[in-house]
Amino acid sequence: MVSETNRIPPNQRVTSKFPILHVGDIPKFDPKTWSFSVEGLVENPLKLTYEEFLRLPKVLSVSDFHCVTGWSKLDNNWEGVAVKTILNLAKPLREARHVTVVAERGYTANLALEDLGDDVLLAYRLNDKPLEPEHGGPLRLVVPKKYAYKSAKWVRKLRFTEEEELGYWERRGYSNKANPWKEERYV
């Protein structure tokens, strides 16, 4: 057993269920029309079909997931594409400082380029099964070092920008930094 001390950020409770939390309803997924794009300040804009996305090099990554409302779900086995792989393909320009993660139905989350570490993943499998629609399938971002509102479900696009574009919750009073270890919950 891995010790759980020091794994749980302040004022978080561990849950064994995986709660489902999002605004709006779950989008329909059609693998024939779905695409993943990278646009904005990049040398090589990308637009990939679902099949093309699945052919990208994949990684497995185990991480913990902390929702700002106070629950933490430990030891999630994600499988997908490291965001570093996407960066290597799209090649952000020197002016690019921020990324807006654009999901279905107008949900967005924003990150600084330096937040896109080796542990950040575009995931399509969880615990050896295809990622369920309610948890963001076919594709969600996983940002283990931030509160989970940065881990957008149903991701369709990454947009690289010079100026920061605040995301859905970041515009509504939640912390832009979102570091659970520092309890950066609200502005």
Ligand X SMILES: Nc1nc2c(c(=O)[nH]1)N[C@H]1C(S)=C(S)[C@@H](COP(=O)(O)O)O[C@H]1N2
What does the binding site for ligand X look like in residue numbers (CB under 6 A)?
A: 18-23, 67, 103, 107, 135-136, 148-149, 151-154
- Nearer to Mo ion by Cβ, of 76 and 85: the residue is 76
67 touches Mo ion by CB under 5 A: yes
Smallest separation, CB 145 to ligand X (Å): 15
- Nearer to ligand X by Cβ, of 91 and 184: the residue is 184
Smallest separation, CB 88 to Mo ion (Å): 30
- Nearer to ligand X by Cβ, of 43 and 134: the residue is 134
Question: How far is the C-alpha of 38 from the C-alpha of 61, rounded, in Å?
Answer: 22
Distant-in-sequence contacts of 3-10, Cβ < 8 A, 24+ apart: 4/74, 7/64, 7/74, 8/72, 9/66, 9/72, 9/180, 9/181, 9/183, 10/180, 10/181, 10/183
**Could you give the C-alpha distances from 114 to 87, 97, 171, in angstroms and in order?**
12, 8, 21
Q: Choose, by CB under 5 A, the member of 109, 131, 141, 148 that binds Mo ion.
A: 148
Closest CA to 89 of 135, 129, 53, 125: 53
**CA 54 from centre of chain:** 17
Smallest separation, CB 11 to Mo ion (Å): 14
* Binding range to Mo ion, per CB under 5 A, among 26-34, 64-72, 107-115, 172-180: 64-72
Smallest separation, CB 184 to ligand X (Å): 14
Contacting positions for Mo ion (CB under 5 A): 67-68, 148-149
